[in-house]
Chain A
Amino acid sequence: MSSKAYFGGMVRFLFWNLNRKKFPEILRRAVHDHSADIVILAESPWSDAQLLWLLNADAAPATPVFQLPFTNCKRIQIVSRFSPNSFPPRLESDYFTMRSLVLPEREELLLVCLHLPSKLYASDDRLALSAGDVSRRIRELEATVRHERTVVVGDFNLNPFEAGMIAVGAFHATRALDVARRHRRVVNGTTYPFFYNPMWQLYTASNGAPPGTYYYEQSEQVAHFWHVFDQVLIRPSLLPRFDHRALQVLHEVVGVSLLDGKGRPDPAIASDHLPLTFQLEF
Chain B
Amino acid sequence: MKDLWPDDIATTRMRVPVSILREQASALKNKTKGLVTAEVLSRSGSSSVYGSDLDDGELEHHFVICAPTLDGYRYDLFSVRHDDLSYPATGHFNAVTEEIPDEAHFESWLRGVFRHERTKRIIHSLIAQVSEPIAS
Contact = CB atoms under 8 A, between A and B. Distances in A.
B51 A88 contact: no
B92 A169 contact: no
Interface stretch (B2-10, B25-33, B75-83): B75-83
A90 B71 contact: yes
A72 B125 contact: yes
Interface residues of B, number: 29
Nearest to B53: A130
Given A92-B74, A127-B90, A169-B51, 16 more contacts: A72-B75, A72-B122, A90-B73, A93-B76, A124-B96, A124-B97, A125-B97, A127-B79, A127-B92, A130-B53, A132-B48, A132-B52, A133-B51, A163-B50, A163-B51, A170-B51
Nearest to A192: B49
A133 B81 CA distance: 14
6 contacts: A124-B96, A128-B79, A132-B48, A132-B50, A163-B50, A163-B51
A163 B51 CA distance: 8
Contacts of B50: 132, 163, 167-170
B133 to A, nearest CB: 11
A125 B50 CA distance: 18
A164 interface: yes
Interface string B42-73: 00000011111100000010000000001111
Contacts of A130: 51-53
A170 B90 CA distance: 23
Interface in A85-110: 88-94
A89 B73 contact: yes
A90 B121 CA distance: 18
A125 B90 CA distance: 12
B19 interface: no
A131 B53 CA distance: 9
Interface of B: 48-53, 60, 70-77, 79, 81, 90, 92, 94-97, 118, 121-122, 125-126, 129
A46 to B, nearest CB: 18
B38 to A, nearest CB: 14
Nearest to A167: B50
A262 interface: no
Contact of B92 (A92, A128, A168): A128
B49 A132 contact: yes
Interface residues of A, number: 31
Contacts of B60: 127
Contacts, number: 81
A-B pairs with lowest CB-CB distance, top 4: A132-B51, A169-B49, A170-B51, A127-B92
A126 interface: yes
Interface string A146-162: 00000000000000000
A242 B51 CA distance: 27
Contacts of A83: none
A103 to B, nearest CB: 16
Contact of B95 (A72, A125, A131): A125
A126 B54 CA distance: 10
Contacts of B75: 72, 91-93
A169 B50 CA distance: 5
Contacts of A128: 79, 92, 95
A70 interface: yes
Contacts of B52: 130, 132-133, 136, 169
A190 interface: yes
Given A124-B97, A127-B81, A127-B92, A88 B71 contact: yes
A116 to B, nearest CB: 12
A72 B76 CA distance: 10
B74 A168 contact: no
